[in-house]
Structure 1
Amino acid sequence: MDAATGSMSGGGCPFNGDGGVRALLGRTNKDWWPDALPLEILLVNGSPDPLDEDFDYAEAFNALDYHALKKDLTALMTDSKPWWPADYGHYGPFFIRMAWHAAGTYRTGDGRGGANSGQQRFAPLNSWPDNGNLDKARRLLWPVKQKYGKNISWADLFILAGNVAIESMGGPVLGFGGGRRDVFEAERDIYWGGEDLWVNEGVATRIRPEEEVDLENPLAAIQMGLIYVNPEGPGGDPDPLGSARDIKVTFERMAMNHEETVALTAGGHTFGKCHGAGDPSLLDVAPEASDITLQGLGWASTYESGFGPHTITSGLEGAWTNTPTEWTENYFRLLLDYEYELVTSPAGAKQWQPIDQKEEDMAPDAHDPSKKVPTMMTTADMALKMDPEFRAISEKFRNDHEALRDAFARAWFKLTHRDMGPKCRYLGPEVPEEDMIWQDPVPAGTMPSDADVSAFKSKILDAGFSIGELVRTAWYSASTFRKSDHRGGANGARIRLEPQKGWAANEPALLDRILARIDELRGNLSMADAIVLAGTAAVEKAAKDAGFDVEVPFTGGRGDATQEWTDVDSFAPLEPFADAFRNYLRTKSNVKTEELMLDRASLLGLSTPEMTVLLGGLRVLGANFEDRPHGVFTDRKGQLTNDFFVNLLDMDTVWEVVDGSGDEEFIGYDRGGRQEKWKATRADLIFGSNSQLRATAEVYAERGHEEKFVRDFVKVWTKVMNADRCDLTYAKYHKEAA
Structure 2
Amino acid sequence: MKQTDRNWWPDQLDLDILDRNAQHISPYGEDYDYAEEFESLDYDELKSDIREAMTDSQEWWPADYGHYGPLFIRMAWHSAGTYRVSDGRGGAGEGNQRFEPLNSWPDNANLDKARRLLWPIKQKYGKKLSWADLLVLTGNVALESMGFETFGFGAGREDSFRGDKSVYWGPEDEMEVTSPERFDENNELRNPLGNSVMGLIYVNPEGPYGEPDLEGSAHNIRETFDNMAMNDEETVALIAGGHTFGKVHGADDPEKFNGPEPSAAPVESQGLGWENDYESGRGADTITSGIEGPWTDAPTRWDMGYIDNLLDHEWEAHKGPGGAWQWRPVGDELKDTVPGAHNRNDAQTPMMLTTDVALKEDPDYREVLERFQEDPGLFQESFSKAWYKLIHRDMGPPSRLVGPEVPDEEMLWQDPVPDADYELIGEAEIEELKSTILDSELSVSELVSTAWASASTYRDSDKRGGANGARIRLRPQRDWEVNNPEELSTVLDTLSEIREAFNESRSDDVRVSLADLIVLGGAAAVEKAAADAGHDVDVPFTPGRTDASQEQTDVGSFNALEPKADGFRNYVDEDADHYLSAEEALVDRAELLTLSPSEMTALVGGLRVLGANYDNSDLGVFTEDVGTLSNDFFTNLLTMDIEWEPVDDEETVFEAHDRETGETKWKGSRVDLLFGSHSRLRAIGEVYGADDGEEEFVEDFVDTWSRIMMLDRFDLQ
- Using the size of structure 2 for normalisation, the TM-score is 0.94
Root-mean-square deviation over aligned CA pairs: 2.0
Partner Cα distance (1:207, 1:669) in 2: 42
Segments of structure 2 that go 5 or more residues without pairing to the other structure are 1-9, 503-510
Among candidates 222, 233, 236, match of residue 207 of structure 2: 233
Pairs within 5 Å for 1:454-493? 454-493=431-470
Q: Which amino acid aligns with 2:661?
A: G
Partner Cα distance (2:297, 2:163) in 1: 39
| 1:269 alignment counterpart | 243
The CA deviation string for residues 414-436 of structure 1, in whole angstroms up to 9 with x for no partner, is 00000011111111110000010
Q: Which amino acid aligns with 2:263?
A: E
Shift of 1:43: 8.8
The CA deviation string for residues 390-449 of structure 1, in whole angstroms up to 9 with x for no partner, is 111111111110000000000000000000111111111100000100000011235322
The CA deviation string for residues 328-368 of structure 1, in whole angstroms up to 9 with x for no partner, is 01111100111112122111011001122435882111001
Shift of 1:372: 2.1
Pairs within 5 Å for 1:74-93? 74-93=51-70
| 1:373 alignment counterpart | 348
Q: Which amino acid aligns with 2:697?
A: F
The CA deviation string for residues 652-679 of structure 1, in whole angstroms up to 9 with x for no partner, is 111111236x211111111110111111
Residue 276 of structure 2 corresponds to residue 289 of structure 1: no
| 1:642 alignment counterpart | 631
| 2:5 alignment counterpart | none
Asked if the contact 2:317/2:328 (under 8 Å) is kept, the reply is yes
The CA deviation string for residues 632-662 of structure 1, in whole angstroms up to 9 with x for no partner, is 11112111111100110011111111236x2
Tell me the SS of whatever aligns to 2:143.
helix
| 1:563 alignment counterpart | 550
Residue 168 of structure 2 corresponds to residue 191 of structure 1: yes
Partner Cα distance (1:447, 1:326) in 2: 52
Among candidates 601, 618, 621, match of residue 610 of structure 2: 621
Partner Cα distance (1:131, 1:435) in 2: 32
Bigger Cα displacement from structure 2, 299-308 vs 338-347? 338-347
| 1:342 alignment counterpart | 317
Asked if the contact 2:171/2:181 (under 8 Å) is kept, the reply is no
The CA deviation string for residues 8-48 of structure 1, in whole angstroms up to 9 with x for no partner, is xxxxxxxxxxxxx99999xx9xxxxxxxxxxx9x9999744
Asked if the contact 1:153/1:181 (under 8 Å) is kept, the reply is yes
Tell me the SS of whatever aligns to 1:375.
coil
Give the direction of change, closer, same or farther, for the CA distance of 1:627–1:392 in structure 2 (3 Å limit).
same
Q: Which amino acid aligns with 2:373?
A: R
Tell me the SS of whatever aligns to 2:429.
helix
Q: How many residues align?
A: 691
| 1:669 alignment counterpart | 657
Partner Cα distance (2:299, 2:182) in 1: 32
Q: Which amino acid aligns with 1:720?
A: I
Partner Cα distance (2:369, 2:642) in 1: 67
Q: Which amino acid aligns with 2:219?
A: R
Shift of 1:628: 1.2
Tell me the SS of whatever aligns to 1:114.
coil
Give the direction of change, closer, same or farther, for the CA distance of 1:673–1:618 in structure 2 (3 Å limit).
same
Percent identity reads 56
Tell me the SS of whatever aligns to 2:393.
helix
| 1:301 alignment counterpart | 276
Residue 407 of structure 2 corresponds to residue 420 of structure 1: no
Among candidates 563, 571, 574, match of residue 584 of structure 1: 571
The CA deviation string for residues 448-498 of structure 1, in whole angstroms up to 9 with x for no partner, is 222221111000101011111100000000000000000000000000000
Give the direction of change, closer, same or farther, for the CA distance of 1:611–1:43 in structure 2 (3 Å limit).
closer
Shift of 1:194: 1.4
Among candidates 586, 598, 605, match of residue 609 of structure 1: 598
Asked if the contact 2:599/2:700 (under 8 Å) is kept, the reply is yes
Give the direction of change, closer, same or farther, for the CA distance of 1:124–1:529 in structure 2 (3 Å limit).
same
Residue 687 of structure 2 corresponds to residue 702 of structure 1: no
Shift of 1:53: 1.9
Asked if the contact 1:206/1:223 (under 8 Å) is kept, the reply is no
Segments of structure 1 that go 5 or more residues without pairing to the other structure are 1-20, 29-39, 730-738
| 2:380 alignment counterpart | 405
Tell me the SS of whatever aligns to 1:117.
coil
Q: Which amino acid aligns with 1:432?
A: P
Give the direction of change, closer, same or farther, for the CA distance of 1:284–1:270 in structure 2 (3 Å limit).
same
Partner Cα distance (1:557, 1:23) in 2: 43
| 1:511 alignment counterpart | 488
Give the direction of change, closer, same or farther, for the CA distance of 1:205–1:379 in structure 2 (3 Å limit).
farther
Q: Which amino acid aligns with 1:179?
A: G
Give the direction of change, closer, same or farther, for the CA distance of 1:222–1:626 in structure 2 (3 Å limit).
same
Q: Which amino acid aligns with 2:385?
A: R
Partner Cα distance (2:270, 2:64) in 1: 24
Asked if the contact 1:207/1:246 (under 8 Å) is kept, the reply is no
Asked if the contact 2:21/2:595 (under 8 Å) is kept, the reply is no
Q: Which amino acid aligns with 1:645?
A: F
Among candidates 135, 143, 147, match of residue 158 of structure 1: 135
Partner Cα distance (2:68, 2:332) in 1: 27
Shift of 1:307: 0.3
Shift of 1:172: 2.6
The CA deviation string for residues 199-254 of structure 1, in whole angstroms up to 9 with x for no partner, is 0xx54577668x75431210111110000010000010101111000000000001
Pairs within 5 Å for 1:235-250? 235-250=209-224
Asked if the contact 2:454/2:470 (under 8 Å) is kept, the reply is yes
